[in-house]
A and B are shown apart, each in its own frame.
Chain A
Amino acid sequence: MKRPLSTRSLVLLLTAVLMVSFILSISSGRVPIQFSDMIRMASTFFQNPEDDLMSKDLVFLWIRLPRCLMAVLAGSSLAVTGAVYQALFRNPLVSPDILGVSAGCTFGAALGLVLPFNSIYSVHFLSFGFGLMAVALSMGLARVISIKPVIILVLAGMVVMSFFNALLMVVKYFSDPYDELPGIIYWVMGSLSRITWDNVLVMAPFAAAGLFLFILLGFRLNILSMGDIQARSLGMNPSFFRMILITASSFMVAVCVATCGQIAWIGLVIPHLARTLAGPEHERMIPVSALLGGIFLLLADSLARTLSSAEIPVGIITALTGAPVFAWFMFRNRSSGWI
């Protein structure tokens, strides 16, 4: 139960790591950009905005910068929603997908990709819409059954998830195997290569609002994780808090998946890492989760961009690194009484 670092110093340290990773990440890639280039661009921007930028400046400003920002936002969002879901469902195996949000988003995106009027906006929009719809269906189904709220919610999520996965199969089956199917498959693997400033501007308010809410409700999450009976006896209305937290999480995850595709493992692994470093109390581990998630996805995406000449989907990197890390955590935390 000893903690080597106070939460404050841990947060400061991780913020520093995040900043260093960010600078490393925006300077690496197929077009190398030096720190001096960034200074030059900044000074050009502020002094003579009329001046033309070099082509590598354009790469930096319009492709790499939004992409790296998105990696931080999406990584943080997936990590904190994972932390919140693990607390709500009192289960270490839960990730934000549990209520079908990813399955819904993926189906929506696949539908968008095969529809005749497909554009990048219709794909994002359908994906976001179906992701939220899947969660709403899970919650509605659980509400209708209305016994043992937590377990039923998980089961309802499984029902909805299977249903949307089946719908995804239908879309895949009827899609054009040479043109559309690879698009769907690539999309499912998750990648940050399509990110534009528009995406960042949509993601940022959701991520910020959600993170703010979760940090504020950190202590309440501790109580919710004790189960409904104890939460009620301590003066809380668990169903109300569950609804608020699930709604906020679903918006965050739906935007992530609608823009980046499925990025596996962050929502599952990062909360465990944060708990190991900061302790299980949510008021401490939520900010740490956010920072770790941002760092992790940022570095994974840098690897995805630089490992080979062709870009590797970042979902593959997060799964390849996340799975062994998770195995190691299970081993390390085997005596905590709770993985």
Chain B
Amino acid sequence: MTASPTDSLFFANLLPDSVNSWHKQDADEIYHPQNLHEFIDGGAELYISYGFQKLCHRTYSSPDQPDILVDVFDMGNSANAFGIFMHTRENVDSSFGQGSEYVQGFLNFWKDRFYISLLALAETEDTKKALFALAKYIDTHIPEEGKIPSLVNKLPQPGLKPSSIRYFHHYVWLNSYLYLSNENIFKIHDNDQIALARYTNGTTLIIIQYADTSKSIQVWNELSQNSFPELKINQPFLRQKTWLQFYLQPPFLIVLANDDSPEPFKKLLNEIVQKLK
């Protein structure tokens, strides 16, 4: 899809025409939620689940060098840009934007409401230099910084593994990180938020912030009636070899999980409850 004049102008300000020996090829391609699947083969739903608004794709070429693909995702707000960046991170550094990672020919970072992916089709010393130069240019041309989701800031810091932080709105990801069901048993919808992190003591902590208090109470009641009768005694319990504890502090629902022991739950729960007050 060819860029509209408005889109072209906006993204032209973020991207250089050339970097080192690489030059822009063809017109920029602009994608929206309705046609993102034409660009990302099968993976569009991931970005749509994070509130994707618009994508600008540009290819840079250089003689006898692998192409470099640059994708600038406008995720609508900084929370979603942070969320999609953190989705598959292993090691986060601060080289570019508000967090970045480089893995063998692939550099990605987030800043403000943007998530930026730079991919060299093969890694060479020259492509690596070009990727870093491109990232620096784009970083410089996004003037504002965005806020990390406030829910993420509620995660207790002691023992937290920074690269394990996840932030999302879709139940598929909740079921992926902590498998309790195939179904959407927590009734997660787009306007709900979830922050998740792992701790050095082996605990996974999940905070679900429902859009309204009544929904959190309703979900709690349904869970205790249908899936987790253990919730009525408000103590850790064992399910499929995993220790679990749920805690309701409307509109927040907290889930703690640990494969080995529920012993870390009490301290962690106290910390999180204080932060949510």
Query: Do chains A and B stick together as partners?
Result: no
Task: Name A's B-contacting residues (CB within 8 A).
Answer: none
Task: Name B's A-contacting residues (CB within 8 A).
Answer: none
